[in-house]
Chain A
Amino acid sequence: MYAIVVATNIGIFVLLALSLNIIAGYAGQSSIGHAAFFGIGAYTSAVLTSTLGVNFWLSLPIAFVVTGLIGALLGLASMRVKEDFLAITTIGINFVVVAIFQYAPIFGASLGMSVSKPSLFGVKMDNLMFLILVGALIAAMVIFMRIIEKSWFGLALASIRNDEAAASSLGVNIVKFKVLAFAVGTAVAGLAGGVYAHYMTFIYSSDFAFLVSISILSMVVIGGIGTIRGPIVGAIILGIAPELFRFISDYRMIVYGGLLVLMMLFQPQGIVGNGSFLVNKFEALFGKGRKKSVVS
């Protein structure tokens, strides 16, 4: 069914948006190359299953760990640069990583890589099973992020985001927490990549290009950066939009570009972000019983 295909795709992007939110929302680090890690996870698991014959269910945690380690390493290197320098460095990482996918023979170079569909208990996984897998991963991720928000890790990240110098003077180990945020955020993107590769059964370097990073970031910001609901809503809206605008397919990009500008002009905190029109109305209607989340 077509709806299942679209839903699974959107689900993968929900995971990506949530994982970027840990880096960009919780830790406040402008990372604009998230698709690079999505790609690293996808290619890692693809090489593991197709070339080395590793089981799909083993390849996912390996992709998770490998991507997280690379993310931590690049995060550590990026600590030398700040703010806008960091933003551009992450764009650079995206381009270099895509270039490696496109030129290294082990990654199929310019031909891309084909991957066979995995099986579960001897049954070949169909689209519905992938949708369930993605749904389960999203649920786990949401629980995980709730734990982060309440934990010492989440508080440390919030303090870094609000005032790095003050946090440092209070003894928060800035480098450790930033690198940890990078590691966790990129590892989840790698996991999403592993699922994506086996779901699509074919991956190509341009699937992980800079434009993909921009759309992941747009999902986070349009939904509401720093919240859990925001990236989910953003990914669903931007994922469904191309389907809704199909009848005006020739005007899709111009509508998309225009909406991005209007959104930033009138609701820069995101559709369901803290302090947005919808959330304010909701809180006015249902009282102030809701506790403000860690990220304000």
Chain B
Amino acid sequence: MTNHEPLIHIARRDGLVWWRAWCIRLAAAVLALLVSALFIYSITKLNPVKVYAAMWEGAFGSPRRAWVTARDASILLCIGVGLAPAFMMRFWNVGAEGQMLMGGCATAAVLIYGGGALSTFQLLLVSTVASVAAGALWGVIPALFKARWNTNETLFTLMMNYIAIQITCFLVALWENPKGSNSVGVINQQTQAGWLPALFGKQYLLNVVIVLVLTVAMYLYLKYTKHGYEISVVGESENTARYAGISVKRVIVRTMALSGAVCGLSGFIAVAGASHTISTSTAGGRGFTAIIVAWMAKFNTFVMVLIALLLVFLEKGAVQIASQFHLNDYASDVVTGIILFFLLGSEFFIQYTVRFRSHGRNNEEVQA
């Protein structure tokens, strides 16, 4: 009888040693940088090496620039950290953009309405609580429907983003200052009331510290607590969760409250610790970028630090090239997109092996 096995045989790997997996990812990143270099060369006709040097300059060229890079990376990281528990539960929270904006709006509201009455410490305390609550609310609503009626959470959280964006637009119009500027302006510019204070004279150090603490805390939460254990069981198999006596519904709602809360807190950091104003660009798509950060890091919050830094570096670098070579900032999104495409594709070679028929079927069946 003739053997009709297909020419290419794809099989799931039994796990790959961690360093080999990272070699594959690194190779993908290098390949992506080459493709990006080609792309940059084709439109600017500039030496790509010089371009990458300029990018480095843009991201880390001065202490000020390095701090801005750190500030933006920490906000992206914070959202990613917020998404980690949801993704580990296999709950597709694509609503981080909205959860962050709601947190930002809550913070701005506290700063604006409480600016004259409360001390900075009180303002920070109240706005932290408010932003956490607002973000959690935005996360819990879709979770309730998911838990009760199995409503598709990807589409639900996606829509919640736009409701949050319109609420932000509404508040911007409401708080417009000065009138007709279509922006809120810097809140409490004179008094700096409710702004995150500088630490050791470094303006953004506190932002970075808060986010790093959160990163460590989330890592510990997911890895060592009973809640974290429940999340990973529910994410793996709801059947096993029921067998173990875990209330799947409760875990879904609780975890999304946490996820939304941390995303809301990132809105607080962005408003009280960075821009001191509120607009839709407070989030500016970072809620979506963070989804990719969280997914690529496979829920490991420390890996997220690396990926967030890489993405913000690319962004800052591309802004630099753009201004040097009279392009616009969007070049960074193109390079980001290319790198992410390659990294996403590389996961296939980590998960699966590709064998060709000549290798024969016997050695593969021994493993079955």
Partners in one complex: no
Q: Which residues on A are within 8 Å of B, measured CB to CB?
A: none
